[in-house]
Amino acid sequence: MKSPVHLIILPENALSWFSKALEQVFIKQVVKKYNKDANNKITDFKLKK
């Protein structure tokens, strides 16, 4: 009876790990985009001055 329990536990761990990895990738993408936008705004501001 141990193997069904392991089968249930494993996907949950894999799923949580996968969602955490996805989250990290998503956050990195957002931060990268935000930094790019921020840099563009800063350069625009400097040009306008």
Q: pLDDT of the chain along its 49 residues, tens only?
A: 555 555 556 677 788 888 899 999 999 999 999 999 888 887 888 887 6
Distance from C-alpha of 11 to C-alpha of 31, rounded to nearest angstrom: 30
Please report the DSSP string for 13-47 in residue order.
Answer: HHHHHHHHHHHHHHHHHHHHHHHHHHHHHHHHHHH
Q: CA 13, 16, 17, 19: dihedral to nearest 10 degrees?
A: 160
Residue 20 lies in a domain: no
For residue 49, what is the DSSP state?
A: -
Amino acid present at 49? K
DSSP state of 6: H
Q: Is residue 4 a part of any domain in this protein?
A: no
In a domain, 7, yes or no: no
pTM: 0.50
Is 1 part of a structural domain of the chain? no
What is the number of domains present in the chain?
A: 1
Position 38 in a domain: yes
